Amino acid sequence: MTGTSAENGSDTPTGTPSVAVVGAGAVGLTAAVDLARWGLDVTVFDRSGVAAGATGSAAGIVYDAYAEDVDAALATRAIERFREFSAETAPVGAPETGPGTGATTTFQFTDCPYVIVARAGDEQTAEAVEASADRMRHHGLDVSVVGPTTLGERFPIQTADVAVAAVAENAGWCDPESYARLLAGRADAVGVDLQPTTAVGLSREPRGVTVGRVSRRFDAVLVAAGAHTGRLCARADIPLALKPYRVQALTSLGAYDGPMLYDATAGFYCRPHPTGLLGGDGTEPVEADPDDWDEAADDWFRNDLRTGLTHRLDYRPRVERSWAGLCTATPDGDPLLGEVAPGIFVAAGWQGHGFMRAPAHGERIAAQIAESLGRPVEGVTAGVESFDPTRFAGDEEFRIVEGITVE
């Protein structure tokens, strides 16, 4: 079967493979743009709008400092694409209406070192930081291990209780929503049908999506709906080993000109932000209901982060905004990226690292979908074998753990 068809007939050119993408976040929009550039007919659905889910609440920290080879390669590719997109303009429009027309905004990737700190007295974490950095360098990454004196000479960081730190140079930050807006604009320009306020269900037979009571057939479907991915697939009898969980962040007024920082002992991160500083983690390691959860940040999180920032950076935050978002966990901490049923693909389960690898993961899953439809893409590797979602049965019991780790 080729072309997209509703119950009352075809609505795409005969012979053109059709793909539905469910989820207008960073990964879904990246995949949609790539698929359309490669000549496929693409429709993007989202029930709430562009970047309305995990992308809109993401921290925007980007680095290639991964100890595992697959992760490091994908992170490096993601940074390459972020830099390629940087300084391009994106149409401005209300998130629920897609790219809009008229005014534009600029997506900007800002280079900034990423520092991982382990505190004195926390030998296990210090050893893990050094071992991880060794593996990173083995993959050719620009990462150094430094002591407190060298760290303090380079950065405005309080180092009296620092045991060791790793500094990753190939890193930076950006605004996740502006990336999604840019990709929505690019999607519109290459002919993607954007339907960002259309809730859909997933259908296996006929393959496609349901809009209300209407069935729309597609040759392939990509479900990249963040915390809703598991529920959408479950309703189509496709169980996934996937659990949503709550994380928290805030922005602060007050200039901050230091590096991006992860205090591995205290368990918080921060980066520069246009208003001053963005910081967070606040992981709540229990499964959340993606349709009924608290989007407001907790007092304990704000208090703990204030303590951590004051101690590590001598920075006393004046909270401008705080919020909670949903991440998704898997049993092994690796994402689910690939085909779960004939013609149905998923992209989810990044443990909080989804946005930073979105340009690479979107490209890989798009190439896998194109290849499955007889349109292999020269020069782009399809899929990621170790992220194959069928490595799990979908009914596994597992514990949610913090996504940022040096283990």
What are the tens digits of pLDDT across the range 94-123?
445 455 545 566 899 999 999 999 999 999
Backbone angles phi, psi at 187, to 5 degrees: -60, -45
Residue 77 or residue 13, greater confidence: 77
pLDDT tens digit sequence for 264-294: 999 999 999 999 999 998 899 999 999 999 9
Residue 9 backbone phi and psi in degrees, to 5: 135, 175
Judged by average pLDDT, the poorest of 3-12, 126-135, 312-321 is 3-12
pTM of the predicted model as reported, rounded to 2 decimal places: 0.93
Given a contact cutoff of 8 angstroms between Cβ atoms, the answer to whether 28 and 21 are in contact is yes
What is the distance between the alpha carbons of residues 30 and 363, in angstroms, rounded to a whole number? 7
pLDDT bucket at 91, cuts 50 / 70 / 90: low
CATH architecture of 110-172+243-329: 2-Layer Sandwich (3.30)
**Strand ranges for 353-396 from DSSP E:** none
pLDDT at 129 over 90: yes
Q: What is the average pLDDT across 87-94?
A: 62
3-state secondary structure of 31: helix
Beta strands in 87-160 (DSSP E): 89-91, 104-106, 110-111, 114-119, 143-146
Q: What is the pLDDT of residues 196-216, one digit of tens each?
A: 999 999 999 999 999 999 999
Domain spans of the chain, in order of start: 5-102+175-242+332-391, 110-172+243-329
Q: Which residues pair with 146 in a beta bridge?
A: 165
When pLDDT is cut at 50, 70 and 90, the band that residue 15 belongs to is confident
Eight-class DSSP state of 185: H
The CATH homologous superfamily for domain 5-102+175-242+332-391 is FAD/NAD(P)-binding domain (3.50.50.60)
Domains 5-102+175-242+332-391 and 110-172+243-329 share a fold: no
For residues 68-77, give the mean pLDDT. 96
**Torsion angle, alpha carbons of 82, 86, 88, 93, to 10:** 70
pLDDT at 102: 53
Is residue 9 predicted with pLDDT exceeding 90? no
Over residues 353-382, the pLDDT tens digits come to 999 999 999 999 999 999 999 999 999 999
Q: How far apart are the first and last CA of the chain?
A: 46
| Sign of the four-CA dihedral 133, 135, 139, 140 | positive
**Residue 101, pLDDT score:** 47
Q: What is the pLDDT of residue 282?
A: 84
Residue 1 has, within 13 A of its CA and on its CB side, a CA count of: 17
Task: Give kind and range of the element (H or E) at residue 61.
Answer: strand 61-63
**What pLDDT was estimated at residue 90?**
64
pLDDT band at 181 (very low <50, low <70, confident <90, very high): very high
Pairs from 83-86 (Cβ < 8 Å, separation ≥ 24): 83/109, 85/109, 85/179, 85/182, 85/359, 86/174
Instruction: Confirm if 76 and 226 have CB atoms less than 8 A apart.
Output: no
